[in-house]
Amino acid sequence: MIPLEDNYTDVIAKAQRGLNLTDSVLAAKAGVSVEELRRVKEGEVIEEVLERIAPVLGLGKRALLDLAKGMYYPKDQGVIPGLFHFNTRWEDMTVNSYLVWDKKTKEAAVFDTGGNCTEMLDTIKVHGLNIKYIFLTHTHADHIAELGRLKRATGAPAYCCELEMIPGTEPFHPGREFQLSDLSIRSFLTNGHSPGGVSYFITGAERKFVIVGDSLFAGSMGGGNYSYAEALKNNKEKILTLPEDTIVCPGHGPLTTVGEEKIHNPFFAFS
């Protein structure tokens, strides 16, 4: 079982940084002491403090409390036809990459490279897949570490958003659609974590998938390194408006669904 990418203290820290709130300002707005805030940020679950700081940080109270109490983990999606998920080591963390394929023609597309693509290449060989595309969600080092090796091994072109180009990739404008036999791959801009972050919505298989990179995680989201406001807006308006049974394939942590994140993600669940 892949652990959640973020715990509740990570969620608090990302929201606080995104809103540019100091501890003293956050504590004052929430009506708690700086000492109480410090204890919560260090991992002590003080429900009253969490309930007070949540609205100041734009977080859902119930979802934040559930995360703090260890009560949220997304449902296991089991075997998903046409989707392979790889979770590989990169320095002191793990990172996800994905392989999507049409079962009839065995045409396939790679999404990000992970920290080591050996298992992916073995899977491609075992299933006799023909890699037509390599897509990047964004260009942070952990997501492109094996790009050169994948390109050499598969002969496939690599595609990257024109706003975040790196050598060896072909630029495209978000909104472009790609065809993979009977599968349709629609790209859309979900920047905020990075300048040219892109998500890919895939239809035509037995299940619908959206591969989101670090835009959204189970129970959290990527830090708004480029723009916190844009990250929130894109997740809310572009990813969480997809059908609720859409499988969300994040850059770190376990798979989830749009429906689960609308209920359980503190950044977006306010019921």
- Quick one: 151 and 54 in the same domain? no
- The residue written with tokens 């000492």 in the block is 35
- Quick one: 43 and 89 in the same domain? no
Residues listed for the chain: 271
Given a cut of 80, whether residue 217 has pLDDT beyond it is: yes
- Quick one: 24 and 103 in the same domain? no
- Quick one: 183 and 55 in the same domain? no
Task: Please tell me the pTM assigned to this model.
Answer: 0.97
Task: For residue 135, tell me if it sits in a domain.
Answer: yes
- Quick one: 150 and 104 in the same domain? yes
The predicted structure's pLDDT at residue 178 = 98
Domain boundary among 43, 68, 93: 68
Q: Count how many domains the chain has.
A: 2
| Residue 154 vs residues 61, 116, 130: alpha-carbon distances, Å | 47, 15, 8
- Quick one: 219 and 182 in the same domain? yes
Cross-strand partners of 107 = 130
- Quick one: 59 and 152 in the same domain? no
Task: For residue 174, tell me if it sits in a domain.
Answer: yes
Q: Is the four-CA dihedral 238, 240, 241, 244 of positive or negative sign? A: positive
- Tens digits of per-residue pLDDT, 56-98? 999 999 999 999 999 999 999 999 999 999 999 999 999 999 9
Provide the domain limits for residue 163: 83-264
Average pLDDT over the chain reads 97
CA-CA-CA-CA dihedral for 242, 186, 184, 204, to nearest 10: -10
Tokens coding 151: 């390109």
- Quick one: 132 and 254 in the same domain? yes
- Quick one: 131 and 223 in the same domain? yes
The predicted structure's pLDDT at residue 271 = 65
Q: Give CA 188 to chain center in angstroms.
A: 14
- Tens digits of per-residue pLDDT, 173-205? 999 999 999 999 999 999 999 999 999 999 999
DSSP string, 139-204: --HHHHTTHHHHHHHH---EEEEGGG--TT-EEE-TT-EEEETTEEEEEEE--SSSTT-EEEEEES
